[in-house]
Structure 1
Amino acid sequence: MTAAKIRLGKIMNGKIMKGIIASLAGMTLIACAGCGGGGGSGVDSKTSAQATQVSNSPCFISDPTASPACIVDGKVLARSIVQYGDDSRLKAVLAKAQSGQPIVIGAIGGSITQGAWATTAQNTYVGRVFGWWQASFPQSQVTLINAGIGKTNSKYGNQRVQRDLLQYNPDFVIIEFANNDAPTPDFQESYRQLAQTIMNAPSHPAVIMLFTMARDGSNSEDNQIPIGKELNLPMVALREAVYPEEQSGQLNPIDITADEIHPNDLGHQIIAQIVAYRILSAQHSTN
């Protein structure tokens, strides 16, 4: 199997695009108020301060079965930031898109990146994130390279990254292997190699490390976070974002998952929201 190359304008009709825009509307204000961006060092004082600043923020995602119904607000988005990392490459691709130049957006990972179990391609987190790129920069032609393949890990990712992703010269890449990599030294090394290979590609893409999780909250992010710190990469995590709501009983994890491992449409929407939030933090930072 190989990656899918998609022109977003061809797969998203007006109704879908309006839905994506609506789902991410208002995030500019949140990011501007709370996300300083640029080279922070993780979930610490900066994230805590951000959570305080956005405590009265509007609701972005609701679940009618939750109590209270709002499951993603500014506090949840603030918690999703594991590390701000270096903003310079994100700023470069944002400037490129703003100027009207074509950009290539990529993602590499397992079945969640591939899109399991979303009801449509547009409802996957990848489809939503890249819908955000096109909606935000209509003057730029956006090409999507989805290199997600189910039941694969970063070891196989290293074998196929050139064929499935880097040959297309991506400007922005999401790496997602938190569910499929084991929390062992050999997988930590394979993840490091993959991240470095992507960063060293001729197109010098911006990279965001994304940590998804199983229904019980398990993943291998603790094995991967040291790589992000070493390379000073932006990192976002689903567990840090919503697990407190799950533990408090506000949110039933069954409501955002299709099975023990994979998100449903609502879960994909939450993942997309936290990724877009980190992008916006770079767009509005002054660092």
Structure 2
Amino acid sequence: MIGNSGDAELNQGTHAPRDPVQVGVSLAEAEFDYNSPNYLDMIDRSLLSAGNNVRLKRVIEKAKRGEPVVLAFIGGSITHGAGAAPIHLQSYAYHTFKHFQKMFAPLDSNTVQLIKAGVGGTPSQLGVIRYERDVLRNGSVQPDIVVIEFAVNDADDETRGNCYESLVLKALASDNKPAVILLFSVFKNDWNLQDRLAPVGFHYDLPMVSMKDALVEQFRKTKHEGNVITKEQYFHDIYHPTNVGHRIMADALANLFQVTDRSPMNQEENELSRAPMIGNDYVNVQLMDRENGEQIARIEPGGFCHTDTELQMAEMDDHAYATPLFPNNWMYVPDDTAEHLGFKLYLRCSRLILIFKDSDSDIFGTAHIKVDGELVKQADPHEVNWTHCHAMLLISNQEAAEHVIDIEMAPGHEDKQFTILGFGYVE
């Protein structure tokens, strides 16, 4: 057990929050006891599975030797740090990074690096597209540990777990063989998607940490019966942890590190050649945006010739400043001089995901999306109604084919704006 160590979305468990989170510090933070026997027992219960420990033990030994180690985190708003203040120093990702550094790296060393890539209100359907850019940094970074946290975001994954398993396999398949850890956060109503997603982890024998397993049972108890923390102490709102909650999540991950360090190494590494549990159709998905689009496909932007600069932002890594997401976009602004109002994409692919901007501004309107001349989707930026990256599945076929995608403003919305942030495509 670990001792003195240092987005989410909900609407009856199905949809993203309607407003961006406001952060604050719980009054209980200063008085919370992180060393009581009941607390340590609660942390122990978070270990859903230690999994095959070969990869993680190799990373721990690497850190002990003083070699550089990269810890990466990808997920929704909880991974972003929502509910924590200040967000860049109190998120569970930052605390976990500091725990790992203190536990295994030489004193006064800077050999451990943090990559934090959480984006509020988004599922693994977007995460698998972002992985190359936001975690691998377009090939410039090779994480040694990848923590994946989408258990309260993936109700909106249209692929029903295919993108989640594809993301897990994409991370596992990296040449440097990183340790992949699945983290299951929980909502205030005790809900998450652990029942859908944990079988993926068991299938590949991965380490898994569950805040639901740690917290929910003790939430129902009185102090006399063994309650450690109340929901009011743990949750900043109905979605996100307080500073105390983020610290507890980090302690749960540190407990996994400690258990792994003290255990003998497994004889063999994870078996990754087995058939997928749900699907692996998005392992090779690639991001296409305005920066690289012309190298990949034929694009006629029409009226979508502007660039939107009012974008969803996220504090990445340990940065206090926020980074705009999908800055290389195509924005439609009404313009009578445009020769073609619609956006047209000619692309050979088997699967295609549109990423567009949600907004609460009345100047944004609904777009119609046609695939090969047939209207397949309507993209309404007010469905979520805050500035937010929205992933929408357009094509899902086993075989690749040439496709024509037309995006144009819906009738009656021609005088509104719309932003295409990018696409995720599988060749």
Q: TM-score, normalised by structure 1?
A: 0.74
Q: 1:24 — aligned with what?
A: 5
Q: Secondary structure at the match of 2:131?
A: helix
> Matches of residues 111-190 of structure 1 in structure 2 within 5 Å?
111-120=77-86, 121-136=88-103, 137-138=105-106, 139=109, 141-166=111-136, 167=139, 168-182=141-155, 186-190=159-163
Q: Secondary structure at the match of 1:248?
A: coil
Letter in 2 for 1:266: V
Aligned length: 230
**Cα distance in 2 for residues equivalent to 1:24 and 1:255:** 19
State the percentage of identical aligned residues: 33
Q: Whose relative contact order is higher, 1 or 2, with alpha carbons under 8 Å and at least 6 apart?
A: 1
Q: 2:59 — aligned with what?
A: 93
Deviation at 1:23, TM superposition (A): 3.9
Relative distance call for 1:153 and 1:185 in structure 2 (3 A) is: closer
Q: Secondary structure at the match of 2:155?
A: coil
**Cα distance in 1 for residues equivalent to 2:205 and 2:246:** 26
Letter in 1 for 2:93: V
Q: Secondary structure at the match of 1:24?
A: coil
Which piece of structure 1 moves more, 162-171 or 247-256? Answer: 247-256
> 2:231 aligned with 1:253, yes or no?
yes
Deviation at 1:220, TM superposition (A): 0.7
8 Å CA contact 2:211, 2:249 repeated in 1 = yes
Q: Deviation per CA, 1:226-253, whole angstroms, max 9, x where unpaired?
A: 1001111001101111211101133321
Deviation at 1:74, TM superposition (A): 3.0
> Matches of residues 96-111 of structure 1 in structure 2 within 5 Å?
96-111=62-77
Deviation at 1:216, TM superposition (A): 1.1
Letter in 2 for 1:95: E
Q: 1:197 aligns with which of 153, 170, 175?
A: 170
Deviation at 1:73, TM superposition (A): 2.7
Deviation at 1:186, TM superposition (A): 2.3
**Cα distance in 2 for residues equivalent to 1:226 and 1:180:** 17
Q: Deviation per CA, 1:250-287, whole angstroms, max 9, x where unpaired?
A: 33211111110000101001100101100111111124
Q: Secondary structure at the match of 1:82?
A: strand
> Matches of residues 212-227 of structure 1 in structure 2 within 5 Å?
212-227=185-200
> 2:202 aligned with 1:229, yes or no?
yes
Q: 2:39 — aligned with what?
A: 73
**Cα distance in 1 for residues equivalent to 2:177 and 2:144:** 7
Letter in 2 for 1:142: V
Higher helix share: 1
Q: Secondary structure at the match of 1:187?
A: coil
8 Å CA contact 2:125, 2:158 repeated in 1 = no
Deviation at 1:76, TM superposition (A): 1.2
Relative distance call for 1:65 and 1:124 in structure 2 (3 A) is: closer
Q: TM-score, normalised by structure 2?
A: 0.51
Relative distance call for 1:180 and 1:76 in structure 2 (3 A) is: same
Q: 2:371 — aligned with what?
A: none
**Cα distance in 1 for residues equivalent to 2:115 and 2:38:** 28
Letter in 1 for 2:134: D
**Cα distance in 2 for residues equivalent to 1:241 and 1:63:** 21
8 Å CA contact 2:79, 2:116 repeated in 1 = yes
Task: Spell out structure 1 runs of 4+ moving beyond 3 A.
Answer: 61-66, 69-72
Q: Secondary structure at the match of 1:229?
A: helix
**Cα distance in 2 for residues equivalent to 1:63 and 1:112:** 21
Q: 2:216 — aligned with what?
A: 243
**Cα distance in 1 for residues equivalent to 2:60 and 2:98:** 15
8 Å CA contact 1:183, 1:220 repeated in 2 = no
**Cα distance in 1 for residues equivalent to 2:245 and 2:188:** 10
8 Å CA contact 2:151, 2:185 repeated in 1 = yes
8 Å CA contact 1:105, 1:144 repeated in 2 = yes
Relative distance call for 1:99 and 1:140 in structure 2 (3 A) is: farther
**Cα distance in 2 for residues equivalent to 1:170 and 1:189:** 23
> 2:233 aligned with 1:263, yes or no?
no
Q: Which has the larger radius of gyration?
A: 2
Deviation at 1:183, TM superposition (A): 8.2
Question: What stretches of structure 1 of length at least 5 have no aligned partner?
Answer: 1-20, 26-60
Deviation at 1:182, TM superposition (A): 1.2
Deviation at 1:133, TM superposition (A): 1.9
**Cα distance in 2 for residues equivalent to 1:106 and 1:187:** 24
**Cα distance in 1 for residues equivalent to 2:113 and 2:150:** 22
Deviation at 1:124, TM superposition (A): 1.0
Q: 1:283 aligns with which of 261, 265, 268?
A: 261
Question: What stretches of structure 2 of length at least 5 have no aligned partner?
Answer: 7-27, 266-427
